[in-house]
Amino acid sequence: MNSKKPLALVTGATSGIGRAITYALADKGYEVIALGRSAATLEKMQTHAGVRPLALDLTDREALETALDGETIDVLVNNAGVMPPVTGFCDMAQSDIDTTLEVNLSAAIATTRMILPGMAARKRGHLFFIGSTAGQGPFPNMAVYGASKAAISSFASALRCDLSGSKVRVTEIVAGRVETALYRDVLSDRARSDMYEAFDAVQPEDVAEMLLSVLNMPVHVDVTRFDILPTAQFVGGGGFAKKDT
């Protein structure tokens, strides 16, 4: 399906950062393929002008390649990610380790491999990768999650070297604590409430606004990485100052 509008693909689009970015891009005149697993949620999102739902599992590479065949993607936002149980590595199930690495790392690389050749041939395009402060420094009980995000950071940096001179831009978004549903399945409602009550977290819309700012930079400018953290979050160690009352 060809479109006169620039076309973006956002993975993990049904909630949090992905949904905010999807709506922000659509509001700026992009047609946005919103990829997620929840067909019901995507159907509701379709009412937002410019949003085109794509319900499938990102790890089903054959289905994804078929769905994207013939599409001219101008912006790819590799946002889909999972948070494994927050626990010591020795207590992790192998299945949780495998899922984390598959979704957070392998699927992002595979999706990029499907989209990038077209961008390189057209000599235009922008790749975004959602990283994390957990990939930049150690956090307790998050060894595998941190490893997946550190690998994304390394991949984005090396890919940028490969694409030097191609006019295809690469940006890693290093997010600190953002108020999303990421911890929904691994922390209790009380624990999540206490976590966000202690400080003012970054909102998904803040990340989307920064992405638009980067995207709107002149084509000769590549913002290779930006960090977006709560004001209260320490840059090193992931600690937080107490919220003013």
Residues labelled as active-site residues: 145
Q: In this structure, are strands 225-228 and 7-11 parallel, antiparallel, or unpaired?
A: unpaired
The Cα 160–Cα 157 span in angstroms is: 5
Question: Kindly report the CA angle at 104 between 115 and 181, in degrees rounded to 5?
Answer: 115
Q: In this structure, are strands 7-11 and 75-78 parallel, antiparallel, or unpaired?
A: parallel
